[in-house]
């Protein structure tokens, strides 16, 4: 199956050792495309979590004082190993997560790019010298690593969401405990295996596999040595973690749910807008937090846009992710499929028109046909809830003020998209939208050099870019007197 079979790991990684659960329990990892068993991994609990915290805390004392050039060298080596094993890592991802192999390979390159970017940032955690108001004093600002970081990552991007958190943390001198999704632990373990090969010291990077996320999370939240939580996932769980972090006043970064508007003005290049919609909607079968969730199209061009997007949508190839020509793979599980079915059925019952798709695919299991529905209204659940599936939902608007108000009428604020050729709108509309990221005339906005994150109930903090390192640094003021 894999060129390097050692990348398929079936134990957790704590303090440089591949370990079983203290309880001896294990859980199965299956392929969402066909339900086949891939392997089983340890089902860790609180005792195992405590061991990882102790390992990371002990390793931090030396890692924080390791020269930035050494940390950068290890990160660059990790990057080289990830790129060298791209095909195997992508195959593992597709097998456990389902996304098309082309997308999986792109994600591995994307994940590696974060490691490379933050390797360069390791030596750039500059402090400052502030002019003092007293001639016999000097004021310095130092930036120092936060400490032990718990990185809790989702199943939809099982490699990139790890490196986007772990690489900046390691670069500035933090140690990390990764808790991957129970659906996709194999990608995390494979990355840990390559980090081990790269030469990171024991305890600097640890991976906890578990089905009992609540008890493991409680241990991470309660322990005073864990100084930072970085979480990507649902808003509901993010709120629980934020409450749990309060008792020990941990630093928190949260990248949560979204309800992205995709706004098409009448002056837009419609072909570019359709291409952008396909990129922003159907990647990973619509299972991304920045997916276009509401397509708000001006009434003058709505029908032409819908016809063009329907044609593109109906031609998307559905199939197992391992097939090279697959465009849309399976959803992650039956619950995800049932949610998509329910949202489409609800919209149809309230008058929306299903133009293509709208049913389970002939493959069965968790495959759903790429779908486009029009005539959607804001009060429909398909407009207010995050779809997380391959469904485009189109509604119309009449003017700029209306669409901005409707786009902002949500508790979420992660990503938004705007298509227009009016130079005034290019500035006005993104500035008026209450979102952390806005794509103008593009459906692709993620990049290691750009800050990623949301506002309102879509999160706190930013990942990627030069701002990403600040999430893992404390600022210390040193005042020297008697000079």
In this structure, is the dihedral angle defined by the CA atoms of residues 340, 342, 343 and 344, taken in order, positive or negative? positive
Q: Is 121 a catalytic residue?
A: no
C-alpha to C-alpha distance for 192 and 169, rounded to whole angstroms: 15
Cα angle for residues 64, 68, 71 (degrees, 5° grid): 80
Measured from the Cβ of residue 359, the count of other Cβ atoms closer than 10 Å reads 11
DSSP character string of 402-429: HHHHHHH-SSEESEEEEE---HHHHHHH
Q: What's the distance, Cα to Cα, between the start and end of the chain in Å?
A: 67
Q: Determine contact, residues 435/459, Cβ cutoff 8 Å.
A: no
Tokens standing for 180?
């991957």
Measured from the Cβ of residue 34, the count of other Cβ atoms closer than 10 Å reads 14
Q: How many helices (H) and strands (E) does the chain have?
A: 14, 22
Catalytic residue among 255, 369, 400, 463: 255
Closest by CA to 189, choosing from 377, 44, 389, 379, is: 44
Q: Determine contact, residues 155/183, Cβ cutoff 8 Å.
A: yes
Q: Determine contact, residues 187/89, Cβ cutoff 8 Å.
A: yes
Q: Is 289 a catalytic residue?
A: yes
Structural domains in the chain, CATH included, are 5-256+458-479 (3.40.605.10), 260-448 (3.40.309.10)
Q: Determine contact, residues 264/185, Cβ cutoff 8 Å.
A: no
Q: Determine contact, residues 426/324, Cβ cutoff 8 Å.
A: no
Catalytic residue among 196, 289, 291, 471: 289
Cβ neighbours of residue 196 closer than 8 Å, sequence gap 6 or more: 13, 16
Q: What is the largest CA-CA distance in the chain?
A: 80
Strands 292-298 and 391-397 turn out to be: parallel
Q: Determine contact, residues 413/456, Cβ cutoff 8 Å.
A: yes
Residue 454 CA to its chain's centroid (Å): 12
Closest by CA to 257, choosing from 279, 236, 285, 284, is: 236
C-alpha to C-alpha distance for 62 and 35, rounded to whole angstroms: 44
Strands 251-255 and 226-232 turn out to be: parallel
Per-residue pLDDT of the chain (483 residues; tens, 9 = 90+): 799 999 999 999 999 999 999 999 999 999 999 999 999 999 999 999 999 999 999 999 999 999 999 999 999 999 999 999 999 999 999 999 999 999 999 999 999 999 999 999 999 999 999 999 999 999 999 999 999 999 999 999 999 999 999 999 999 999 999 999 999 999 999 999 999 999 999 999 999 999 999 999 999 999 999 999 999 999 999 999 999 999 999 999 999 999 999 999 999 999 999 999 999 999 999 999 999 999 999 999 999 999 999 999 999 999 999 999 999 999 999 999 999 999 999 999 999 999 999 999 999 899 999 999 999 999 999 999 999 999 999 999 999 999 999 999 999 999 999 999 999 999 999 999 999 999 999 999 999 999 999 999 999 999 999 999 999 999 999 999 999
Phi, psi (rounded to 5 degrees) for 322:
-70, -15
């Amino acid at each position: 199956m894999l060129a390097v079979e050692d990348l398929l790991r079936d134990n957790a990684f704590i303090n440089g050792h591949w370990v079983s659960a203290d309880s001896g329990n294990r859980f199965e990892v299956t392929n969402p495309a066909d339900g086949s068993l891939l392997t089983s991994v340890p089902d860790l609990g609180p005792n195992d979590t405590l061991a990882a915290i102790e390992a990371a805390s002990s390793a931090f004392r030396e890692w924080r004082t390791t020269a930035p050039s050494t940390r950068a060298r290890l990160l660059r080596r990790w990057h080289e190993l990830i790129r060298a094993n791209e095909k195997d890592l992508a195959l593992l991802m597709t097998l456990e997560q389902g996304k098309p192999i082309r997308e999986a390979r792109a994600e591995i390159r994307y994940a590696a790019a974060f490691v490379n970017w933050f390797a360069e940032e390791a030596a750039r955690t500059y402090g400052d010298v502030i002019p003092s108001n007293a001639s016999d004093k000097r004021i310095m600002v130092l930036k120092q690593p936060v400490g032990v970081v718990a990185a809790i990552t989702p199943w939809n991007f099982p490699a990139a969401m790890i490196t986007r958190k772990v690489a900046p943390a390691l670069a500035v001198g933090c140690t990390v405990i990764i808790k991957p999704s129970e659906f996709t632990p194999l990608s995390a373990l494979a990355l840990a295996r390559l980090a081990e090969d790269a030469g990171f010291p024991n305890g600097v990077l640890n991976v906890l596999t578990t089905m009992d996320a609540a008890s493991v999370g409680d241990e991470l939240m309660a322990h005073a040595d864990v100084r930072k939580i970085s979480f990507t996932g649902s808003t509901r769980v993010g709120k629980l973690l934020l409450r749990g972090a309060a008792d020990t006043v941990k630093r928190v970064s949260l990248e949560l749910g979204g309800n992205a508007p995709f706004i098409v003005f009448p002056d837009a290049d419609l072909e570019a807008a359709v291409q952008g919609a396909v990129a922003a909607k159907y990647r990973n079968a619509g299972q991304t937090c920045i997916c276009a969730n509401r397509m708000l199209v001006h009434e003058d061009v709505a029908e032409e846009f819908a016809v063009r997007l329907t044609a593109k949508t109906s031609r998307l190839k559905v199939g197992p992710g391992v097939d090279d020509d697959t465009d849309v793979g399976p959803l992650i599980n039956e619950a995800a499929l049932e949610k998509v079915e329910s949202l489409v059925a609800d919209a149809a019952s309230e008058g929306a028109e299903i133009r293509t798709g709208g049913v389970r695919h002939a493959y069965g299991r968790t495959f759903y046909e790429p779908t486009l529905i029009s005539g959607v209204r804001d009060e429909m659940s398909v407009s207010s809830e995050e779809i997380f599936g391959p469904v485009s939902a189109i509604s119309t608007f009449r003017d700029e003020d209306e669409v901005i108000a409707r786009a902002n009428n949500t508790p979420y604020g992660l990503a938004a998209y705007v298509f227009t050729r009016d130079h005034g709108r290019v500035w006005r509309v993104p500035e008026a939208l209450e979102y952390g990221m806005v794509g103008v005339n593009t459906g692709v906005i993620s990049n290691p050099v750009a800050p990623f994150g949301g506002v309102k109930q879509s999160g706190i903090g930013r990942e990627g870019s030069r701002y990403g390192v600040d999430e893992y640094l404390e600022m210390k003021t040193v005042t020297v007197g008697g000079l």
